[in-house]
Chains A and B, each alone.
Chain A
Amino acid sequence: MKEQLIKELKAIVGNEWVQTEKEDLICFGYDATPGFFNLPDAIVQPANAEEISQVLKLANREKIPVYTRGSGTNLSAGTVPMAGGIVMFTIRMNKILEVDPVDRVAVVEPAVIVQDLNIAVEKFGLIYPPDPGTVSTASIGGTVAENSGGLRGLKYGVTKHYVIGLQAVLADGQIVEFGGRTLQSPGYDMVMLFTGSEGTLGVVTKIIVRLVPAPAHRKSMMAIFDDLNDAGKAIADIISHNIIPATLEIMDNYTIRTVESFVKLGLPVDSEAIILAEVDGDYDTVEQDAIKMEKVLRDNHGEVKVAKSAQERDQVWAARRAALPSLAKLRPSTFCEDATVPRSKVPDMLRAVTEIAKKYDVQIGTFGHAGDGNLHPTIVTDLRDAEEMQRVYKAMEEIFLTALGLGGTLSGEHGIGLGKLKYMPNQFGEVGMTVMRSIKQALDPNNILNPGKLLGEAQGH
């Protein structure tokens, strides 16, 4: 990047908020996705929307790529600066601007950490439900860009169900307000278009989210299955008994064995699957649903343990929380995917993943949000082993195409970024891809915002 442009950037945000030293640039060359790295030319840390607007005007004039970044925890390489340019690091914009317990909304800046918002609203008896695995490090701006999910998606939905208003800066520097503090807003739903757009349509500078009352009561249980088919049927039966658990998770045998070898929770290493479930809500409904759910699990040959205390509840969820960290310890590189299928296809998908692991001789542990069809086939491998990586990429491809074949989607909660880009036409078809590119073209004609992500290259003129 030309020295003159660095000077202009410094004039906008102040000297100390522009970094160009190699040591700094390296830190921003990657995110939590293995296999993608590239150096940006500059890191810019704006203080507010006005500064972002000026930076974007400059970048748009000079056609410099801009990558918005919060905590960099994303799993689809969405924040990697593949074409160089500017990383727009929003970390200074980290204030909770308002919590309104009567209207049940909060207004936050993008770099607020998800968990910090939950701590701030707790005293009003409220929660902000989206809880990605990285809840203690992920920034809300990032979760909006990726439309992050979490463990409670089945009952509570994902990030987009809670975002009702946005302030964003468009590629040409215009500051725009979409939606607001109300449930509905007239006009096209630009809030929903921008949520999950992976930083390709604008830079989000303020977020208005909806809050909900914290559940008064909850109950967790664990069920152990010798046969994966029984576990799959139990999941379907829970829903068909009109129970919508807050959380309904599954772990396969590979994951169970791995977790047990690292954390020694006394998990049955021979069982094919474990289901972990929690119902929440008012006391009576929870108690009634828990009894119904326990029966459904037993009727499907599950060995059920119901948590009788907060401590036992924590033990149930310790196993689930240990899944990804334990798998990640096995080998140097971890690919945690999020291929998602309609709920009824979860058993088919689990079986397919097991077969794919055998076929390509790779190690895959699968766990995830069975209740909403969002599985995490996690491949553990070593990026340095070129031969094995060939097999890993083939296995990944087959996992994605299998999910699509089952009526699923490439991504349930991590986004497309770069990792799954290749398969987008399989899901969206030519019409879908053209339409999405025309939206990108309409709002970012110079293709400066996170170029190459989500849609691939070549949408510019």
Chain B
Amino acid sequence: MRQDLIDAFSKIVGADHVLTGKETLLEYAVAVTSGTSRMPDAIIEPADAMEVSRVLALANAEKIPVYPRGYGSNLYNAMDPVAGGIILLLKRMNAILEIDTANLAASVEPGVLVSDLNKEVQKSGLMYPPDPGTLSTATIGGLAAQNATSMRSLKYGVTKHYIMGLEVVLADGRILNTGGKNVKDVAGYDLTKLMTGSEGSLGVFTKITVKLMPAPEQKKCLLASFKTLADAGKAVEALLNDKIVPSALELIDNATIRALGNEIPAGLSTAAAAALLIEFDGIPTVVESDTAKATAILQSHNVDHIVAAQTAEEQSSLWAARRAVLPALAKSNTRMYLTDLIIPRRKATDALKAIGSIAEKNNLTIATFGHIGDGILHSAILCNAADKNEISRASSAINAIAAHALAAGGKFNSNFQKDLAGQSEIYARQAIKQAFDPNNILNPVNRVEEG
């Protein structure tokens, strides 16, 4: 990047907050294609919306790519600076601005950690439900940009159900305010929902108003393991058909259980084909009766073993195991291709079986886990980075999984796959992108094809 531009950015945010040292930039380098990598040209850390606005206005005038970023815990490389340019690091904007208990709303800056917000609102007996729970470094800004799901999406919905309002800096530096604290608001186009999940490609969030909920009085967890995947799938269907709504219903398959190693919870065998982690929340009598009902359903569906977590400590050790899944997978092999399948619930068992045969056919280890109650599954394909042949087999496996998901009426998302949307949908999306960011400076070209 030209020195005069570096100087101009330094003037906006202060020289301390423009980082161009090679070691720093290398930390943010990304693989563009096998063998080549790309560094950003500068890391810029703005303090507020005004600074973001001025940075973007300049970047837009100079057509410099901008990649907004929190702590970079995104699992799909969705914010990687593949075209160089600026990483806009929002960590300094980490204030909880307001907690409004009367309106069950909170306003925060984008760099606030979701775990910090939950600690704070807990003091008022409230919660921010779509907490992914798996990542201690997830920021509200990042979760809103990705419209993240969480383990409690089955009962409480996903991030977009909780974003009530946004302050957004647009590509040319204009500041847009959308939504607010109104539970019902149908005036105009729903820019809040359009922005949520737009992966930083339509604007940079500088303030986020979220909806809060009363925290449940009690929680209880069950860990149920099965000898076959089909049994686990049938048990899930039976649970959901009985209209008891668990707050979480997670599945981990055998490959995932094995990867857990030392983190494996007591009572779970590495021989189990699959395990379900089920949580109920609400008032004590209801939690007790739902747990009893669920236990009976599991028992009539060939459950192999059930561990009930009564105390907060027992529960948190079960959740710790679930949280350990991703780190465990990431280190068990050198390269992990993570994919998202979102499938109609009734097709979930079929999908699990299909993934099993795809793994076998391509001679790969594929670990599958996720929010089975919502039909959201993550399949991690584990490869040796040095093994070109294995990587090529991984690529065929990704295509096969994607084809299965689409044939089942579902969706597939992976950064290693072309956009699978229909032509007209892509046309409409591009028209929106063009309207918001005609110079294409915000998070450009973040759909890399590999293999």
* A interface residue numbers (CB < 8 A to B): 100, 102-105, 125, 146-147, 149, 153-154, 157-158, 160-161, 170, 174-178, 180-190, 192-193, 195-197, 201, 213, 236, 239-240, 242-244, 282, 284-285, 288, 340-344, 369, 372-374, 407-416, 420, 424, 427-429, 431-432, 434-436, 438-439, 441-443, 454-455
What are the nearest 5 A-B pairs in CB distance? Answer: A242-B214, A192-B193, A176-B424, A344-B102, A412-B184
Q: How far is the CA of A407 from the CA of B429 in the complex (A)?
A: 31
**Among A154, A182, A441, A443, contact of B183 (Cβ-Cβ < 8 Å):** A154
Q: How far is the CA of A341 from the CA of B183 in the complex (A)?
A: 8
Complex contacts, A146 vs chain B, CB 8 Å = 186
CB distance from A453 to the nearest CB of B (A): 11
CB distance from A180 to the nearest CB of B (A): 6
Cβ contacts B423-440/A at 8 Å (1 or 0 each)? 011011101111110000
**Among B158, B189, B419, contact of A183 (Cβ-Cβ < 8 Å):** B158
Q: Given the interface contacts A176-B424, A342-B180, does A193 sit within 8 Å of B193 by beta carbon?
A: yes
Q: How far is the CA of A341 from the CA of B432 in the complex (A)?
A: 30
Complex contacts, B180 vs chain A, CB 8 Å = 342, 407-409
Query: B282-290, B303-311, B385-393: which one contacts chain A?
Result: B282-290
Complex contacts, B312 vs chain A, CB 8 Å = none
Q: Given the interface contacts A411-B187, A432-B191, does A183 sit within 8 Å of B428 by beta carbon?
A: no
**Among A182, A189, A416, A424, contact of B196 (Cβ-Cβ < 8 Å):** A189
CB distance B425 to A416 under 8 Å?
A: no
CB distance from B189 to the nearest CB of A (A): 5
CB distance from B97 to the nearest CB of A (A): 14
Complex contacts, A285 vs chain B, CB 8 Å = 282-283, 286
CB distance A373 to B197 under 8 Å?
A: no
CB distance A424 to B188 under 8 Å?
A: yes
CB distance B186 to A415 under 8 Å?
A: yes
- Counting chain A CB atoms within 10 Å of each CB, the highest count among B125, B184, B410 belongs to B184
Question: Apart from A186-B413, A407-B180, what are 5 other A-B pairs with CB-CB below 8 Å?
Answer: A104-B345, A160-B190, A182-B375, A340-B183, A373-B182
CB distance A188 to B429 under 8 Å?
A: yes
Q: Is B21 an interface residue (CB 8 A)?
A: no
Q: Given the interface contacts A183-B376, A192-B194, A342-B181, does A174 sit within 8 Å of B187 by beta carbon?
A: no
Complex contacts, B263 vs chain A, CB 8 Å = none
CB distance from A281 to the nearest CB of B (A): 9
- How many of B's residues come within 8 Å of A, CB to CB? 78
Cross-chain pairs A/B with CB under 8 angstroms, 8 sampled: A102-B345, A125-B243, A147-B190, A213-B245, A344-B100, A409-B184, A413-B184, A435-B176
CB distance A414 to B237 under 8 Å?
A: no
Q: Which residue of A lies closest to B245 (CB)?
A: A213
CB distance from B171 to the nearest CB of A (A): 11
**Among A186, A189, A412, A432, contact of B182 (Cβ-Cβ < 8 Å):** A412
CB distance B342 to A183 under 8 Å?
A: yes
Q: Given the interface contacts A158-B186, A177-B425, A196-B186, does A240 sit within 8 Å of B194 by beta carbon?
A: no
CB distance from A427 to the nearest CB of B (A): 6
CB distance B189 to A436 under 8 Å?
A: yes
Q: Given the interface contacts A176-B425, A184-B342, A431-B170, does A438 sit within 8 Å of B435 by beta carbon?
A: yes
Q: How far is the CA of A182 from the CA of B282 in the complex (A)?
A: 26
CB distance A411 to B160 under 8 Å?
A: no
Q: Is B411 an interface residue (CB 8 A)?
A: yes
Q: Given the interface contacts A188-B198, A190-B425, does A438 sit within 8 Å of B436 by beta carbon?
A: yes
CB distance from B422 to the nearest CB of A (A): 6
Q: Is B227 an interface residue (CB 8 A)?
A: no
CB distance A102 to B170 under 8 Å?
A: no
Complex contacts, A409 vs chain B, CB 8 Å = 180, 182, 184-187
Complex contacts, B410 vs chain A, CB 8 Å = 180-182
Q: Which residue of B lies closest to A288 (CB)?
A: B283
CB distance A454 to B188 under 8 Å?
A: yes
Q: Which residue of A lies closest to B438 (CB)?
A: A438
CB distance A175 to B182 under 8 Å?
A: no
CB distance from B75 to the nearest CB of A (A): 14
CB distance B186 to A184 under 8 Å?
A: no
CB distance from B35 to the nearest CB of A (A): 28
Q: How far is the CA of A409 from the CA of B187 in the complex (A)?
A: 7
Complex contacts, B170 vs chain A, CB 8 Å = 431, 435
**Among B100, B197, B241, B422, contact of A176 (Cβ-Cβ < 8 Å):** B422
CB distance from A43 to the nearest CB of B (A): 27
Q: Given the interface contacts A102-B237, A158-B184, does A197 sit within 8 Å of B189 by beta carbon?
A: yes
CB distance B196 to A431 under 8 Å?
A: no
Q: How far is the CA of A294 from the CA of B431 in the complex (A)?
A: 53
Complex contacts, B344 vs chain A, CB 8 Å = 100, 103, 105, 181-182
Q: Is B174 an interface residue (CB 8 A)?
A: yes
CB distance B425 to A340 under 8 Å?
A: no
Q: Is B374 an interface residue (CB 8 A)?
A: yes
Complex contacts, A180 vs chain B, CB 8 Å = 409-411
Q: Is B137 an interface residue (CB 8 A)?
A: no
CB distance B342 to A185 under 8 Å?
A: yes
CB distance A373 to B193 under 8 Å?
A: no
**Among B177, B182, B214, B429, contact of A190 (Cβ-Cβ < 8 Å):** B429
Q: Which residue of A lies closest to B161 (CB)?
A: A161
- Counting chain B CB atoms within 10 Å of each CB, the highest count among A105, A125, A373, A416 belongs to A373
CB distance from A168 to the nearest CB of B (A): 9
**Among A147, A186, A429, contact of B411 (Cβ-Cβ < 8 Å):** A186
CB distance B431 to A239 under 8 Å?
A: no
**Among A147, A153, A284, contact of B289 (Cβ-Cβ < 8 Å):** A284
Complex contacts, B346 vs chain A, CB 8 Å = 100, 102-103
Complex contacts, A412 vs chain B, CB 8 Å = 182, 184-186
Q: Given the interface contacts A374-B183, A427-B188, does A188 sit within 8 Å of B194 by beta carbon?
A: yes
Q: Which residue of A lies closest to B176 (CB)?
A: A431
Complex contacts, A192 vs chain B, CB 8 Å = 160, 190, 193-194
CB distance from B375 to the nearest CB of A (A): 6
Q: Is B135 an interface residue (CB 8 A)?
A: no
Q: How far is the CA of A170 from the CA of B428 in the complex (A)?
A: 9
